[in-house]
Amino acid sequence: MKKKFDTMLFLPALGLMAYGVVMVFSASCPTAALSPICNFDPYFFLKRHVLWLLIGFVAMIFAYKIDLKKWRKYSLIIILITLALLFTVLIFGETTLGATRRLKLGPITFQPSEFAKIALVFFLADALARRRNQVRNFKKLLSVLVIFAIVGFLIEKQPDLGTTIVVGSTTLAMLFLAGANIFHLIGMTLVGLLVAVSRILDEPYRIRRILAFLNPWEDSAGMGYQNIQSYIALGSGGLYGVGLGESRQKFFYLPEKFTDFIFAITGEELGFYYGTLPIVILFILFLVLGFRIAMKTRDPFMSLLAGGITFMITFQAFINMGVVSGILPCTGITLPFISFGGSSLVFTLFSLGMLLNIAGQPKKKGNKLKQLEKRRPRFGPRESAEHDSIVIEKAENFFDSGEIESGEIDSEEIENVGALSKGEEPGGKQCESSSQEEEPEDTYTPQ
């Protein structure tokens, strides 16, 4: 059956990408026009950004077309490849500004940590879906947490604390969506905060970043310089902006103006009403629609995958905007869909493709199935959840048999489905305890 393309989800992302194309060109134009490395071509970064966008669209279409249930079987292999790449970048990666985050593959520069984010979400969705009846048992989660800890450790060693925070927060969010014990989650959050604080205290430059965040004017020519220039850009824009292309901060005042701090240039040129506010609204809309997809999806693996992808993208976006506006200390992560392209843009669009894939899964037909599905909770415990799951699985098999569309419906079979919903076997005999039956793999029975 042909998938239905979710236009409502795609439009906010497309709007953000449109902002990205315009603002990358505007913010990068002075740098490219005056740089011999760019051949004094003002369109240098724009052309590269559009190229990455096209590659990203190919990746998005591929993710939209694949069978996620088949790829789920390879989740462990994917995460092992991810670990190998993260090890490799520490040994053979390119070092830029003191960070070793990129692998050079011929003419292409690849950032394994961007691949690691989506690979970990995919792995967690599979692992937590398989443990959905044991997710409140902390011992059953240890193997999953070990994988996350290794991934987080390798990313932090690059060093890239910002991406580590995104990965850790996404893991906690997915555990919450899977139904993990709230006290376990609080404990893991506290441990994570302690680890983050200890890693900040171990590195003098991170301490200086925190101090610059608290009072950037104390070191206005050093660590506080970027923060101050970002504030000036946003303040200069006001409500309506100074005009598209009229930014002053992009003329070598604000560093990283078309990557990490592109939100500041957007606010300066387009202002609050036409720049920053619409971007915030588009990300909130993306968040709401993404979680709506996660809640509507009956398959636990796809539900967790949709929730994880949605949270990861929007959490990173709000972290970036918080840094630019002075709410959070500098982390060095990009603004999804908008910042100058590369690995981040391609894998963000790949993630969007998977989300569209989940949203476009064909709906089951039949009024009886719809009535049965209403009885089953999406999240949270319920006494009859296990029984309802078995009822729905058998009803799905009935409605997927093709007899409805061909018109060959046996009245006895309809009665059998009705009997199942009442907890009876076909013929009126009361069903035995559902715990004696093997639980179907593709049903969601939260504890």
Q: Where are the alpha helices (DSSP H) in 179-245?
A: 182-202, 204-214, 225-237
Instruction: Compute the mean pLDDT over every residue in the chain, rounded to the nearest whole number.
Output: 84
Q: Is the pLDDT of residue 74 over 70?
A: yes
Lowest mean pLDDT: which of 6-10, 165-169, 174-178, 216-220? 216-220
List strand residue ranges (DSSP E) for 20-107, in order: 94-96, 99-105
Give the pLDDT confidence of 288-304 residue by residue, as tens digits: 999 999 999 889 999 99
User: Domain spans of the chain?
Assistant: 7-359, 368-403+410-436
Q: Quick one: 285 exposed, middle or buried, by C-beta within 10 A (0-12, 13-18, 19+)?
A: middle
Give the pLDDT confidence of 77-101 residue by residue, as tens digits: 999 999 999 999 999 888 887 788 8
323: which 2 tokens?
A: 């840094």
Give the pLDDT confidence of 166-200 residue by residue, as tens digits: 999 999 999 999 999 999 999 999 999 999 999 99
Pair 171, 150: CB distance under 8 Å: no
Q: Is the pLDDT of residue 385 over 90?
A: no
The 3-state DSSP composition of the chain as helix, strand, coil percent (nearest 5) reads: 65, 5, 30
Write the DSSP symbol of residue 272: I
pLDDT at position 375? 39
pLDDT at position 308? 97
Instruction: Tell me the CA distances in angstroms from 121 to 127, 306, 421, one per residue in order.
Output: 10, 9, 35
pLDDT at position 298? 86
For strands 99-105 and 108-110, give the pairing: antiparallel
pLDDT at position 262? 96
pLDDT at position 399? 45
Nearest Cα residue to 237 out of 212, 204, 211, 274:
274
Nearest Cα residue to 391 out of 420, 433, 434:
420
433: which 2 tokens?
A: 């305890």
